Structure 1
Amino acid sequence: MAADVKSQKKRGVLFDVDGTLIDSSYFHAMAWWQAFRREGLDIEMSAIHRRVGMGGDKLIQSLVPDCTDEMQEDLKSAHGAVFSTFWPTLRPFDSARDLLAACSDAGLAVGLASSAQERDLDVSRHLLDAGSSIDAWTSSNDAEESKPAPDILVACLEKLGVSPEDAVFVGDAVWDVKAGAAIGVPVVALTCGGISEAELRDAGAAEVYDNPQHLLEHLETSLIGKLIGRGQGD
Protein backbone atom coordinates (compact mmCIF):
# COMPACT_ATOMS: atom_id res chain seq x y z
CA MET A 1 0.00 0.00 0.00
CA ALA A 2 1.27 3.44 -0.92
CA ALA A 3 0.33 4.99 2.42
CA ASP A 4 -1.37 4.20 5.70
CA VAL A 5 -4.65 5.94 4.97
CA LYS A 6 -6.85 4.20 7.52
CA SER A 7 -6.43 6.84 10.19
CA GLN A 8 -6.53 9.80 7.79
CA LYS A 9 -9.24 9.42 5.16
CA LYS A 10 -12.79 8.43 6.03
CA ARG A 11 -14.19 8.45 2.50
CA GLY A 12 -12.91 6.87 -0.65
CA VAL A 13 -13.34 6.19 -4.33
CA LEU A 14 -12.58 2.82 -5.90
CA PHE A 15 -11.60 2.47 -9.54
CA ASP A 16 -11.77 -0.54 -11.77
CA VAL A 17 -8.68 -0.56 -14.01
CA ASP A 18 -9.17 -2.44 -17.30
CA GLY A 19 -11.56 -0.51 -19.54
CA THR A 20 -11.95 2.24 -16.92
CA LEU A 21 -8.48 3.74 -16.53
CA ILE A 22 -6.56 1.64 -19.09
CA ASP A 23 -7.78 1.17 -22.69
CA SER A 24 -7.55 -2.62 -22.58
CA SER A 25 -11.03 -4.14 -22.85
CA TYR A 26 -10.78 -5.04 -26.52
CA PHE A 27 -7.31 -6.47 -26.04
CA HIS A 28 -8.73 -8.75 -23.36
CA ALA A 29 -11.50 -9.79 -25.76
CA MET A 30 -8.91 -10.58 -28.44
CA ALA A 31 -6.78 -12.54 -25.97
CA TRP A 32 -9.76 -14.65 -24.88
CA TRP A 33 -10.78 -15.18 -28.51
CA GLN A 34 -7.34 -16.51 -29.36
CA ALA A 35 -7.32 -18.67 -26.23
CA PHE A 36 -10.64 -20.24 -27.23
CA ARG A 37 -9.42 -20.82 -30.77
CA ARG A 38 -6.36 -22.66 -29.44
CA GLU A 39 -8.78 -25.08 -27.78
CA GLY A 40 -10.78 -25.48 -30.98
CA LEU A 41 -13.65 -23.31 -29.72
CA ASP A 42 -15.17 -20.77 -32.11
CA ILE A 43 -16.65 -18.09 -29.83
CA GLU A 44 -17.91 -14.83 -31.31
CA MET A 45 -15.84 -11.82 -30.32
CA SER A 46 -18.94 -9.80 -29.41
CA ALA A 47 -20.03 -12.45 -26.93
CA ILE A 48 -16.59 -12.37 -25.31
CA HIS A 49 -16.50 -8.57 -25.11
CA ARG A 50 -19.88 -8.47 -23.34
CA ARG A 51 -18.31 -10.60 -20.59
CA VAL A 52 -15.01 -8.79 -20.18
CA GLY A 53 -14.97 -7.52 -16.61
CA MET A 54 -16.16 -10.83 -15.23
CA GLY A 55 -13.57 -12.97 -13.57
CA GLY A 56 -11.91 -15.32 -16.05
CA ASP A 57 -13.51 -18.37 -14.43
CA LYS A 58 -17.02 -16.95 -14.80
CA LEU A 59 -16.37 -15.69 -18.31
CA ILE A 60 -15.33 -19.19 -19.39
CA GLN A 61 -18.23 -20.88 -17.60
CA SER A 62 -20.78 -18.59 -19.22
CA LEU A 63 -19.42 -19.23 -22.72
CA VAL A 64 -18.43 -22.89 -22.35
CA PRO A 65 -20.76 -24.39 -19.71
CA ASP A 66 -19.35 -27.91 -20.08
CA CYS A 67 -15.72 -26.79 -19.80
CA THR A 68 -13.56 -29.14 -17.74
CA ASP A 69 -11.30 -27.88 -14.97
CA GLU A 70 -8.26 -28.78 -17.06
CA MET A 71 -9.53 -26.87 -20.09
CA GLN A 72 -10.39 -23.88 -17.93
CA GLU A 73 -6.84 -23.70 -16.63
CA ASP A 74 -5.48 -24.04 -20.17
CA LEU A 75 -7.77 -21.24 -21.37
CA LYS A 76 -6.78 -18.90 -18.54
CA SER A 77 -3.11 -19.62 -19.13
CA ALA A 78 -3.46 -18.99 -22.87
CA HIS A 79 -5.36 -15.75 -22.26
CA GLY A 80 -2.62 -14.51 -19.95
CA ALA A 81 0.10 -15.39 -22.42
CA VAL A 82 -1.64 -13.69 -25.34
CA PHE A 83 -2.63 -10.62 -23.32
CA SER A 84 0.97 -10.10 -22.22
CA THR A 85 1.94 -9.63 -25.87
CA PHE A 86 -0.31 -6.54 -25.89
CA TRP A 87 1.39 -4.88 -22.91
CA PRO A 88 3.52 -2.55 -25.10
CA THR A 89 0.32 -1.36 -26.84
CA LEU A 90 -1.69 -0.50 -23.72
CA ARG A 91 -2.30 3.13 -22.85
CA PRO A 92 -4.16 4.96 -20.08
CA PHE A 93 -7.24 6.87 -21.13
CA ASP A 94 -6.77 10.63 -21.39
CA SER A 95 -6.83 12.31 -17.97
CA ALA A 96 -6.88 8.99 -16.06
CA ARG A 97 -3.88 10.06 -13.99
CA ASP A 98 -5.36 13.55 -13.47
CA LEU A 99 -8.65 12.05 -12.28
CA LEU A 100 -6.89 9.94 -9.66
CA ALA A 101 -4.86 12.95 -8.52
CA ALA A 102 -7.95 15.16 -8.29
CA CYS A 103 -9.73 12.64 -6.07
CA SER A 104 -6.68 12.24 -3.85
CA ASP A 105 -6.02 15.98 -3.62
CA ALA A 106 -9.65 16.48 -2.56
CA GLY A 107 -9.09 14.27 0.47
CA LEU A 108 -10.48 10.95 -0.73
CA ALA A 109 -8.72 7.64 -0.26
CA VAL A 110 -8.14 6.20 -3.73
CA GLY A 111 -8.12 2.46 -4.40
CA LEU A 112 -7.67 0.37 -7.54
CA ALA A 113 -10.27 -2.37 -7.11
CA SER A 114 -8.88 -4.63 -9.82
CA SER A 115 -9.26 -8.38 -10.18
CA ALA A 116 -6.48 -8.55 -12.78
CA GLN A 117 -3.58 -10.91 -12.44
CA GLU A 118 -0.87 -9.30 -10.35
CA ARG A 119 1.61 -9.05 -13.22
CA ASP A 120 -1.01 -7.35 -15.45
CA LEU A 121 -1.88 -4.94 -12.65
CA ASP A 122 1.80 -4.06 -12.22
CA VAL A 123 1.89 -3.07 -15.89
CA SER A 124 -1.25 -0.94 -15.52
CA ARG A 125 0.05 0.80 -12.41
CA HIS A 126 3.30 1.60 -14.22
CA LEU A 127 1.34 3.05 -17.15
CA LEU A 128 -0.85 5.16 -14.85
CA ASP A 129 2.23 6.51 -13.08
CA ALA A 130 -0.07 7.97 -10.42
CA GLY A 131 2.36 7.63 -7.52
CA SER A 132 1.00 8.73 -4.17
CA SER A 133 -2.45 9.41 -5.62
CA ILE A 134 -3.18 5.70 -5.17
CA ASP A 135 -3.51 4.55 -1.56
CA ALA A 136 -4.26 0.84 -2.07
CA TRP A 137 -4.86 -1.72 -4.77
CA THR A 138 -6.06 -5.28 -5.21
CA SER A 139 -5.42 -8.09 -7.66
CA SER A 140 -7.01 -11.48 -8.26
CA ASN A 141 -5.02 -12.74 -5.26
CA ASP A 142 -7.24 -10.67 -2.94
CA ALA A 143 -10.60 -12.24 -3.84
CA GLU A 144 -12.08 -15.67 -3.32
CA GLU A 145 -14.83 -15.04 -5.87
CA SER A 146 -14.59 -12.84 -8.96
CA LYS A 147 -16.97 -10.19 -10.30
CA PRO A 148 -19.89 -9.78 -10.34
CA ALA A 149 -19.33 -10.96 -6.75
CA PRO A 150 -18.18 -7.99 -4.64
CA ASP A 151 -15.14 -9.65 -3.04
CA ILE A 152 -12.61 -7.37 -4.76
CA LEU A 153 -14.46 -4.24 -3.67
CA VAL A 154 -14.68 -5.52 -0.09
CA ALA A 155 -10.95 -6.26 -0.08
CA CYS A 156 -10.06 -2.81 -1.43
CA LEU A 157 -12.33 -1.04 1.05
CA GLU A 158 -10.71 -2.98 3.88
CA LYS A 159 -7.24 -1.93 2.72
CA LEU A 160 -8.38 1.69 2.64
CA GLY A 161 -10.23 1.47 5.94
CA VAL A 162 -13.36 2.92 4.30
CA SER A 163 -16.95 1.75 4.81
CA PRO A 164 -19.22 0.98 1.81
CA GLU A 165 -21.55 3.84 2.73
CA ASP A 166 -18.61 6.25 2.45
CA ALA A 167 -17.44 5.09 -0.98
CA VAL A 168 -18.14 5.37 -4.70
CA PHE A 169 -16.97 2.85 -7.30
CA VAL A 170 -16.00 3.82 -10.86
CA GLY A 171 -16.18 1.05 -13.45
CA ASP A 172 -16.99 0.34 -17.08
CA ALA A 173 -18.82 -2.99 -17.12
CA VAL A 174 -22.23 -4.29 -16.11
CA TRP A 175 -20.34 -6.63 -13.77
CA ASP A 176 -18.82 -3.64 -11.97
CA VAL A 177 -22.29 -2.19 -11.42
CA LYS A 178 -23.58 -5.50 -10.05
CA ALA A 179 -20.58 -5.86 -7.74
CA GLY A 180 -21.14 -2.39 -6.32
CA ALA A 181 -24.86 -3.02 -5.82
CA ALA A 182 -24.12 -6.20 -3.88
CA ILE A 183 -22.54 -4.17 -1.05
CA GLY A 184 -24.46 -0.92 -1.44
CA VAL A 185 -21.70 1.10 -3.12
CA PRO A 186 -23.05 3.43 -5.84
CA VAL A 187 -21.34 3.05 -9.20
CA VAL A 188 -20.28 5.78 -11.59
CA ALA A 189 -19.92 4.06 -14.96
CA LEU A 190 -17.82 4.96 -17.99
CA THR A 191 -18.61 3.89 -21.55
CA CYS A 192 -14.97 3.84 -22.70
CA GLY A 193 -14.82 0.08 -22.08
CA GLY A 194 -17.30 -0.42 -24.91
CA ILE A 195 -20.55 -0.95 -23.00
CA SER A 196 -23.39 1.43 -23.82
CA GLU A 197 -24.90 3.97 -21.46
CA ALA A 198 -28.29 2.22 -21.73
CA GLU A 199 -26.86 -1.12 -20.65
CA LEU A 200 -24.98 0.42 -17.75
CA ARG A 201 -28.02 2.36 -16.55
CA ASP A 202 -30.23 -0.71 -16.89
CA ALA A 203 -27.76 -2.57 -14.68
CA GLY A 204 -28.14 0.15 -12.03
CA ALA A 205 -25.33 2.65 -12.65
CA ALA A 206 -26.04 5.88 -10.75
CA GLU A 207 -24.23 8.06 -13.30
CA VAL A 208 -22.62 7.45 -16.69
CA TYR A 209 -19.79 9.41 -18.35
CA ASP A 210 -17.83 8.85 -21.55
CA ASN A 211 -14.36 8.38 -20.08
CA PRO A 212 -12.05 9.61 -17.27
CA GLN A 213 -11.66 13.03 -18.88
CA HIS A 214 -15.45 13.49 -19.10
CA LEU A 215 -15.82 12.49 -15.45
CA LEU A 216 -13.00 14.82 -14.41
CA GLU A 217 -14.71 17.72 -16.20
CA HIS A 218 -17.87 17.05 -14.17
CA LEU A 219 -16.21 15.91 -10.96
CA GLU A 220 -17.68 18.66 -8.75
CA THR A 221 -21.27 17.80 -9.69
CA SER A 222 -20.79 14.02 -9.76
CA LEU A 223 -21.37 11.53 -6.96
CA ILE A 224 -17.65 11.76 -6.24
CA GLY A 225 -18.01 15.53 -5.85
CA LYS A 226 -20.85 15.01 -3.40
CA LEU A 227 -18.69 12.57 -1.46
CA ILE A 228 -15.93 15.17 -1.31
CA GLY A 229 -18.46 17.72 -0.08
CA ARG A 230 -19.56 15.43 2.72
CA GLY A 231 -15.97 15.17 3.86
CA GLN A 232 -15.54 18.94 3.90
CA GLY A 233 -18.58 19.22 6.13
CA ASP A 234 -17.06 17.01 8.87
Structure 2
Amino acid sequence: MADDMRHGVLFDVDGTLVDSTYLHTVSWWEALRQADHRVPMARIHRAIGMGSDKLLDHLLGAERDTDADGRLRDAHDALYAEYWERLAPLPRARELLYACADRGLRVVLATSAAEHEVAALRAVLDADDVIDTVTSSADAKESKPAPDILAAALDQSGLAAGRVVFVGDSVWDVAAAGKLDIPCIGLTCGGTGRAELAGAGAVAVYEDPAELLDALPASAIGSLG
Protein backbone atom coordinates (compact mmCIF):
# COMPACT_ATOMS: atom_id res chain seq x y z
CA MET A 1 0.00 0.00 0.00
CA ALA A 2 1.44 3.37 -1.03
CA ASP A 3 2.48 5.89 1.59
CA ASP A 4 0.93 9.04 0.09
CA MET A 5 3.09 11.35 2.21
CA ARG A 6 6.44 10.25 0.76
CA HIS A 7 8.23 11.05 -2.48
CA GLY A 8 11.07 9.15 -4.06
CA VAL A 9 13.40 8.59 -6.99
CA LEU A 10 13.59 5.30 -8.84
CA PHE A 11 16.94 4.61 -10.48
CA ASP A 12 17.86 2.17 -13.19
CA VAL A 13 21.38 0.94 -12.41
CA ASP A 14 23.18 -0.56 -15.43
CA GLY A 15 24.29 2.34 -17.65
CA THR A 16 22.63 4.88 -15.35
CA LEU A 17 24.63 4.62 -12.12
CA VAL A 18 27.21 1.96 -13.06
CA ASP A 19 29.29 2.03 -16.25
CA SER A 20 28.25 -1.39 -17.52
CA THR A 21 26.22 -0.95 -20.70
CA TYR A 22 29.07 -1.67 -23.09
CA LEU A 23 30.27 -4.57 -20.96
CA HIS A 24 26.84 -6.15 -21.40
CA THR A 25 27.08 -5.40 -25.12
CA VAL A 26 30.42 -7.17 -25.48
CA SER A 27 29.27 -10.09 -23.33
CA TRP A 28 26.15 -10.61 -25.43
CA TRP A 29 28.17 -10.23 -28.65
CA GLU A 30 30.58 -12.96 -27.58
CA ALA A 31 27.79 -15.24 -26.27
CA LEU A 32 25.96 -14.91 -29.57
CA ARG A 33 29.15 -15.40 -31.59
CA GLN A 34 29.89 -18.62 -29.71
CA ALA A 35 26.49 -19.90 -30.90
CA ASP A 36 27.23 -18.81 -34.51
CA HIS A 37 24.93 -15.76 -34.39
CA ARG A 38 26.70 -12.83 -36.01
CA VAL A 39 25.00 -9.75 -34.63
CA PRO A 40 26.66 -6.33 -34.94
CA MET A 41 27.54 -4.71 -31.62
CA ALA A 42 25.59 -1.58 -32.53
CA ARG A 43 22.36 -3.60 -32.72
CA ILE A 44 23.12 -5.31 -29.44
CA HIS A 45 23.88 -2.02 -27.69
CA ARG A 46 20.56 -0.56 -28.76
CA ALA A 47 18.77 -3.53 -27.20
CA ILE A 48 20.52 -3.28 -23.82
CA GLY A 49 17.97 -2.34 -21.19
CA MET A 50 15.53 -5.02 -22.26
CA GLY A 51 15.41 -8.26 -20.32
CA SER A 52 17.28 -11.16 -21.90
CA ASP A 53 14.08 -12.74 -23.22
CA LYS A 54 13.01 -9.64 -25.14
CA LEU A 55 16.58 -8.84 -26.14
CA LEU A 56 16.97 -12.23 -27.83
CA ASP A 57 13.58 -11.87 -29.53
CA HIS A 58 14.65 -8.44 -30.75
CA LEU A 59 18.03 -9.59 -32.06
CA LEU A 60 17.26 -13.10 -33.32
CA GLY A 61 13.54 -12.93 -34.09
CA ALA A 62 10.56 -14.07 -32.06
CA GLU A 63 9.97 -17.05 -34.35
CA ARG A 64 13.37 -18.62 -33.70
CA ASP A 65 13.96 -21.93 -31.95
CA THR A 66 14.28 -20.83 -28.31
CA ASP A 67 15.77 -24.08 -27.02
CA ALA A 68 19.24 -22.52 -26.91
CA ASP A 69 18.18 -19.35 -25.07
CA GLY A 70 19.20 -20.69 -21.67
CA ARG A 71 22.69 -21.47 -22.92
CA LEU A 72 22.97 -17.99 -24.45
CA ARG A 73 21.96 -16.38 -21.16
CA ASP A 74 24.37 -18.55 -19.20
CA ALA A 75 27.20 -17.65 -21.60
CA HIS A 76 26.41 -13.94 -21.27
CA ASP A 77 26.29 -14.18 -17.48
CA ALA A 78 29.63 -16.01 -17.29
CA LEU A 79 31.31 -13.51 -19.62
CA TYR A 80 29.85 -10.49 -17.82
CA ALA A 81 30.86 -11.87 -14.41
CA GLU A 82 34.50 -11.59 -15.49
CA TYR A 83 34.11 -7.80 -15.33
CA TRP A 84 32.55 -7.57 -11.87
CA GLU A 85 35.76 -6.72 -10.06
CA ARG A 86 36.39 -3.90 -12.56
CA LEU A 87 32.93 -2.35 -12.54
CA ALA A 88 32.94 1.36 -11.76
CA PRO A 89 30.27 3.88 -10.85
CA LEU A 90 29.49 6.61 -13.33
CA PRO A 91 30.64 10.13 -12.36
CA ARG A 92 29.26 11.18 -8.95
CA ALA A 93 26.60 8.45 -8.95
CA ARG A 94 27.06 7.81 -5.23
CA GLU A 95 26.85 11.53 -4.45
CA LEU A 96 23.59 11.74 -6.43
CA LEU A 97 22.00 9.01 -4.33
CA TYR A 98 23.08 10.75 -1.13
CA ALA A 99 21.80 14.11 -2.38
CA CYS A 100 18.38 12.62 -3.09
CA ALA A 101 18.27 11.06 0.38
CA ASP A 102 19.34 14.37 1.94
CA ARG A 103 16.27 15.95 0.33
CA GLY A 104 14.09 13.47 2.20
CA LEU A 105 13.40 11.33 -0.86
CA ARG A 106 13.29 7.56 -0.82
CA VAL A 107 16.05 6.15 -3.03
CA VAL A 108 15.00 3.04 -4.94
CA LEU A 109 17.13 0.92 -7.27
CA ALA A 110 14.57 -0.28 -9.80
CA THR A 111 16.78 -2.75 -11.62
CA SER A 112 15.88 -5.94 -13.44
CA ALA A 113 19.38 -7.38 -13.04
CA ALA A 114 19.61 -10.90 -11.65
CA GLU A 115 20.01 -11.09 -7.89
CA HIS A 116 23.67 -12.13 -8.05
CA GLU A 117 24.41 -9.18 -10.35
CA VAL A 118 22.53 -6.78 -8.06
CA ALA A 119 24.92 -7.63 -5.23
CA ALA A 120 27.90 -6.68 -7.40
CA LEU A 121 26.25 -3.43 -8.50
CA ARG A 122 25.41 -2.44 -4.92
CA ALA A 123 29.00 -3.06 -3.87
CA VAL A 124 30.19 -0.72 -6.63
CA LEU A 125 27.82 2.05 -5.53
CA ASP A 126 28.66 1.69 -1.82
CA ALA A 127 25.52 3.56 -0.79
CA ASP A 128 23.44 0.97 1.02
CA ASP A 129 22.83 3.29 3.96
CA VAL A 130 20.69 5.61 1.81
CA ILE A 131 19.09 3.02 -0.48
CA ASP A 132 15.53 2.28 0.64
CA THR A 133 14.52 -0.51 -1.74
CA VAL A 134 16.18 -2.70 -4.37
CA THR A 135 14.44 -4.87 -6.95
CA SER A 136 15.80 -7.64 -9.17
CA SER A 137 14.69 -9.70 -12.15
CA ALA A 138 12.82 -12.03 -9.78
CA ASP A 139 10.34 -9.22 -9.08
CA ALA A 140 9.11 -8.81 -12.66
CA LYS A 141 7.06 -11.16 -14.79
CA GLU A 142 7.91 -9.16 -17.92
CA SER A 143 11.05 -7.13 -18.55
CA LYS A 144 11.30 -3.61 -19.95
CA PRO A 145 9.80 -1.98 -21.91
CA ALA A 146 6.99 -3.55 -19.85
CA PRO A 147 6.57 -1.57 -16.61
CA ASP A 148 6.61 -4.58 -14.26
CA ILE A 149 9.90 -3.77 -12.52
CA LEU A 150 8.79 -0.20 -11.85
CA ALA A 151 5.45 -1.42 -10.51
CA ALA A 152 7.34 -3.79 -8.21
CA ALA A 153 9.62 -0.96 -7.05
CA LEU A 154 6.60 1.19 -6.19
CA ASP A 155 4.89 -1.64 -4.35
CA GLN A 156 7.96 -2.59 -2.32
CA SER A 157 8.87 0.99 -1.42
CA GLY A 158 5.33 2.13 -0.60
CA LEU A 159 5.54 4.95 -3.13
CA ALA A 160 2.85 6.15 -5.53
CA ALA A 161 3.52 6.66 -9.25
CA GLY A 162 2.42 10.28 -8.99
CA ARG A 163 5.09 11.05 -6.39
CA VAL A 164 8.23 9.68 -8.03
CA VAL A 165 10.65 10.33 -10.86
CA PHE A 166 12.51 7.56 -12.69
CA VAL A 167 16.10 8.02 -13.90
CA GLY A 168 17.28 5.75 -16.73
CA ASP A 169 19.60 5.61 -19.71
CA SER A 170 17.69 3.78 -22.45
CA VAL A 171 14.57 4.28 -24.53
CA TRP A 172 13.26 1.10 -22.86
CA ASP A 173 13.48 2.86 -19.49
CA VAL A 174 11.53 5.82 -20.82
CA ALA A 175 8.89 3.56 -22.37
CA ALA A 176 8.43 1.56 -19.15
CA ALA A 177 8.02 4.72 -17.08
CA GLY A 178 5.55 6.17 -19.57
CA LYS A 179 3.23 3.20 -19.14
CA LEU A 180 2.82 4.15 -15.48
CA ASP A 181 2.75 7.92 -16.14
CA ILE A 182 6.03 8.32 -14.24
CA PRO A 183 8.25 11.20 -15.46
CA CYS A 184 11.57 9.82 -16.70
CA ILE A 185 14.88 11.68 -16.70
CA GLY A 186 17.24 10.32 -19.34
CA LEU A 187 21.03 10.08 -19.01
CA THR A 188 23.22 9.70 -22.09
CA CYS A 189 26.04 7.91 -20.22
CA GLY A 190 24.61 4.55 -21.30
CA GLY A 191 25.29 5.43 -24.93
CA THR A 192 21.84 6.55 -26.13
CA GLY A 193 21.73 10.06 -27.55
CA ARG A 194 19.97 13.07 -26.14
CA ALA A 195 17.57 13.44 -29.07
CA GLU A 196 16.53 9.79 -28.96
CA LEU A 197 15.83 9.86 -25.22
CA ALA A 198 13.88 13.11 -25.54
CA GLY A 199 12.01 11.73 -28.53
CA ALA A 200 11.02 8.67 -26.50
CA GLY A 201 9.43 10.96 -23.92
CA ALA A 202 12.12 11.79 -21.34
CA VAL A 203 11.14 14.96 -19.47
CA ALA A 204 14.79 16.06 -19.39
CA VAL A 205 18.13 14.65 -20.50
CA TYR A 206 21.52 14.98 -18.80
CA GLU A 207 24.94 13.61 -19.65
CA ASP A 208 25.49 11.57 -16.48
CA PRO A 209 24.78 11.50 -12.74
CA ALA A 210 27.23 14.35 -12.20
CA GLU A 211 25.36 16.71 -14.52
CA LEU A 212 22.03 15.72 -12.98
CA LEU A 213 23.45 16.30 -9.50
CA ASP A 214 24.59 19.80 -10.47
CA ALA A 215 21.12 20.56 -11.85
CA LEU A 216 19.19 18.77 -9.08
CA PRO A 217 17.33 21.75 -7.57
CA ALA A 218 15.93 22.76 -10.97
CA SER A 219 15.26 19.23 -12.21
CA ALA A 220 12.11 17.11 -12.02
CA ILE A 221 13.62 15.58 -8.87
CA GLY A 222 13.95 19.02 -7.32
CA SER A 223 10.24 19.57 -7.84
CA LEU A 224 9.33 16.61 -5.64
CA GLY A 225 8.11 17.47 -2.20
Category of TM-score, reference length = shorter chain: over 0.9
User: Residues 1-234 of structure 1 correspond to what in structure 2 (within 5 A)?
Assistant: 10-65=6-61, 66-227=63-224, 231=225
2: CA distance between counterparts of 1:148 and 1:157? Answer: 16
Aligned-pair identity (%): 48
Q: Deviations over 1:76-112 (max 9, x none)?
A: 1111111001112210012101100010111111100
Per-residue displacement from partner, 1:52-75 (whole Å, max 9, x unpaired)? 001110010011113323211111
Unaligned runs of 5+ in 1: 1-5
* Structure 2 counterpart SS, 1:136: strand
- Alpha-carbon distance between aligned partners in 1 of 2:55 and 2:183, rounded to the nearest angstrom: 24
In structure 2, how many angstroms separate the alpha carbons of the residues matched to 1:146 and 1:80? Answer: 17
| Aligned mates of 1:49, 1:135 — CA distance in 2 | 30
Contact 1:170–1:189 (8 Å) recurs in 2: yes
In structure 2, stretches of 5+ residues that fail to align are none
Query: C-alpha deviations, 1:24-77, integer Å up to 9, x for none?
Result: 000000000011011101000000000100111001001111332321111111
Q: Which amino acid aligns with 2:11?
A: F
Structure 2 residue aligned with 1:3: none
Cα separation, 2, equivalents of 1:9 and 1:20? 27
Report the Cα offset of residue 179 of structure 1: 0.2
Query: Aligned-pair distance for 1:9?
Result: 5.8
TM-score scaled by length of structure 2: 0.97
* Aligned residues between the structures: 223
Look up the SS of the partner of 1:226 in the other structure. coil
Q: CA RMSD in A?
A: 1.2
TM-score (norm 1): 0.93
Q: Which amino acid aligns with 1:218?
A: A
Instruction: Give the residue type in structure 1 aligned to 2:31.
Output: A
Separation of aligned partners in 1, 2:96 and 2:64: 40
Distance 2:37 2:86 in 1: 26
